[in-house]
Amino acid sequence: MVRLTRHLRGRRADAQISLTQLSALATLSRDGAMTPGALAAKERVQPPSMTRVIASLTDLGLVERKPHPTDGRQIIVSLSEAGSALIADETHAREAWMTDQLSNLTEDQIVTLTRAVAIMKQIVAESE
């Protein structure tokens, strides 16, 4: 899994942001807008670290910060249009590479891989 992840990371079209920043953007893309604390929890990092990540992503125009609707002490962070476009580009590059790799497998290998993916998803779901 680690080696596969490294290969997928190597597909990054334009490494204008760090993998930590990319992970935060991907979480916002998948789970929607949230507070910095919620994002830190999902990313399993300390809130001060996430505050720095959000600040850098805001400076790059990849996220937007808006006041929390009910708690004046909080903000809500969401993807900007530029952030959504970056995630789409990253996803496309990885999917293109993976599609190419899968096209070289036999039908039996695809069936085995499909079963393995289901097991890995179950393991992750149970640990969350």
Give the pLDDT score at 67: 93
Model pTM score: 0.78
Give the pLDDT score at 8: 76
pLDDT interval class at 17 (50, 70, 90): confident
Closest among 49, 83, 41 to 65, alpha carbons compared: 83
Give the pLDDT score at 12: 63
Give 68-92 pLDDT, tens digit per residue.
Answer: 999 888 999 999 999 999 999 888 8
Bigger pLDDT: 96 vs 14? 96
| Structural domains of the chain ordered from first start | 2-8+17-127 (1.10.10.10)
Could you tell me which residues are beta bridge partners of residue 67? 75
Contacts 24+ apart (CB under 8 A), 109-112: none
Quickly count helices (H) and strands (E) in the chain. Answer: 6, 2
Q: Is the pLDDT of residue 13 over 60?
A: no
Other CB atoms within 10 Å distance of the CB of residue 20? 15
Q: What's the mean pLDDT when you consider all of the chain?
A: 90
